[in-house]
Amino acid sequence: MEMLEQEMPFVAPQQAKSAQLKAAAKLESAAGARRKEHALAYLFLAPSLLIFGIFLFYPLLKSVYLSLHLTDPRGRVAEFVGLSNYKNLLGSTAFWNSLKVTALFTLLTVPAGIALGLIAASLTYSSLRFMRLFRFVFSLPLAISVSTASVIWMMLFHPTLGMFNYFLAAAGLSPVQWLTDPTYALLSVAAMTVWMHSGFNFIVLLSGLQGISQDIYDSAKIDGSGPFRTFVRIIVPLLSPTVFFLVIVSVIGAFQSFGQIHILTKGGPAGSTEVFVYSIYKEAFMNYQFGTGSAMALVLFAIILILTVIQFTVLEKKVHYQ
């Protein structure tokens, strides 16, 4: 988003200039008109501000407040405990496990997802025939929600009825307990997540490719560069802002994953798929510990904030722009 911000300077100077002209024309009514404009502007912003205030800013402060307290099962504050919720969190193995699982889940989904998107986007970015059809197929997962995707894959993963084990058996391999074996569960959920996000990644990378000027391809061709070399040496560097954007968005998305875990594994077996948001959900809405739940939510907020700051600073400096 901040990429866009740089391209959009404030319009205030222009407006100020026209305001000066106007002020010279009718000095006496200008103050009244301006006051009216101010009031109208705030009226236009009011609905958004009201929603943000009640459902974003107030909850953020309330989270801080709750995280310093113990609560009863109805969410009422029972006792001030200072930072002990945070201390308990840092000392709990479940907390570190869910951080580890989330990090692992991120590593399993983000690079694979971007690689897949990059391959699909670069293959369909050509003048060959039927590309519109392939582009449509690759963007199909965009329409699929986390719950429909999870239910479909639940059927595919089914130990006896599922197609994956059928294919394994047909290939002469022994069946796999996709979702109940601790060594496979996270991998299985990750595979399904890569599929679910592939439409989004494809669209972002394809439009990144389309944003690169045709002249660059042409001059690379004239210089005798083959398609593979052109891709690795020229296109990939030029695509780096898009890829970087996608990395950050995907990492943040991975830290926010919940639905597929809730439907497919419920965090199990033995906590091997218990990602961070699922832990928050469990703590707050199954154990009714709103205090520690809020402390965990704020840790998530801090992590995502750090990722966003990295995005801001790195995107400014390190990434190659055309």
Partner 1 sequence: MTASRAFHAAIAYALLAVLAALIAYPLLYTLLSVFLTPAEASKFPPQLFPTSLYLGNVTAVLKLIPIERFIANSFLIAVIITAGQVLTGAMGSYAFAYMRFPFKPFWFALFLSTMMIPWEVTIIPNYLTVKQWGWLDSYQGLTVPFLASAFGVFLLRQFFLQLPRELFEAARIDGCGHIRHFLNIVVPLSRPALATLAVYVFLQSWNMYLWPLLITSSDTMRTVQIGISMLQFQENTDWNLVLSGVAVVLLPSLLLLVLGLKQLVRGITAGAVKG
- Residues in 133-162 at the binding interface with partner 1, rule: CB under 8 A: 134, 136-156, 158, 161
User: C-beta of 109: minimal distance to partner 1 in Å?
Assistant: 16
Which of 118, 179, 277, 315 lies at the binding interface for partner 1 (CB under 8 A)? Answer: 277
With binding defined as CB under 8 A, does residue 280 bind partner 1?
yes
With binding defined as CB under 8 A, does residue 306 bind partner 1?
no
259 within 8 A of 82, measured Cβ to Cβ = no
User: C-beta of 83: minimal distance to partner 1 in Å?
Assistant: 18
DSSP-derived pairing of the beta strands 77-80 and 69-71: antiparallel
- Using CA atoms, how far apart are residues 29 and 94, in angstroms rounded to an integer? 66
Q: Is the Cβ of residue 108 or residue 298 nearer to partner 1 in the bound state? A: 298
- Site residues for partner 1, 90-129, by CB under 8 A, read 116, 119-120, 123-124, 126, 128
User: C-beta of 131: minimal distance to partner 1 in Å?
Assistant: 9
Which of 195, 217, 231, 244 lies at the binding interface for partner 1 (CB under 8 A)? Answer: 195
Which of 241, 259, 268, 271 lies at the binding interface for partner 1 (CB under 8 A)? Answer: 259
The span of 86-94, 177-185, 216-224, 273-281 binding partner 1 (CB under 8 A) equals 273-281
Q: Is 194 exposed, middle or buried (0-12, 13-18, 19+ CB in 10 A)?
A: buried
With binding defined as CB under 8 A, does residue 256 bind partner 1?
yes
How many CB atoms lie under 10 A from the CB of residue 5? 8
Q: Is the Cβ of residue 10 or residue 321 nearer to partner 1 in the bound state? A: 10
Helix, strand, coil: what percent of the chain each, to 5? 75, 0, 20
Q: Is the Cβ of residue 216 or residue 304 nearer to partner 1 in the bound state? A: 304
User: C-beta of 96: minimal distance to partner 1 in Å?
Assistant: 19
- Using CA atoms, how far apart are residues 14 and 33, in angstroms rounded to an integer? 18
With binding defined as CB under 8 A, does residue 222 bind partner 1?
no
Termini Cα distance of the chain: 18
Q: Is the Cβ of residue 48 or residue 93 nearer to partner 1 in the bound state? A: 48
Phi and psi dihedrals of 235, rounded to 5? -70, -45
User: C-beta of 256: minimal distance to partner 1 in Å?
Assistant: 6
294 within 8 A of 75, measured Cβ to Cβ = no
DSSP string, 96-147: HHHHHHHHHHHHHHHHHHHHHHHHHHHHHSSS-TTHHHHHHHHHGGGG--HH
- Using CA atoms, how far apart are residues 23 and 16, in angstroms rounded to an integer? 10
User: C-beta of 215: minimal distance to partner 1 in Å?
Assistant: 21
Residue with tokens 């009714």: 288
- # of chain residues touching partner 1 (CB under 8 A): 102
Which of 187, 252, 310, 319 lies at the binding interface for partner 1 (CB under 8 A)? Answer: 252
For residue 79, the cross-strand partners are 70
Q: Is the Cβ of residue 21 or residue 215 nearer to partner 1 in the bound state? A: 21
Distance of CA 209 to the CA centre of its chain: 21
Residue with tokens 């995280």: 67
Q: How many CA atoms lie within 13 A of 188 on its CB side?
A: 31
User: C-beta of 309: minimal distance to partner 1 in Å?
Assistant: 9
With binding defined as CB under 8 A, does residue 207 bind partner 1?
yes
- Site residues for partner 1, 58-97, by CB under 8 A, read 58-60, 62-63, 66, 75
Record the tokens describing residue 50, joined without a space: 């009201």
User: C-beta of 310: minimal distance to partner 1 in Å?
Assistant: 12
With binding defined as CB under 8 A, does residue 183 bind partner 1?
no
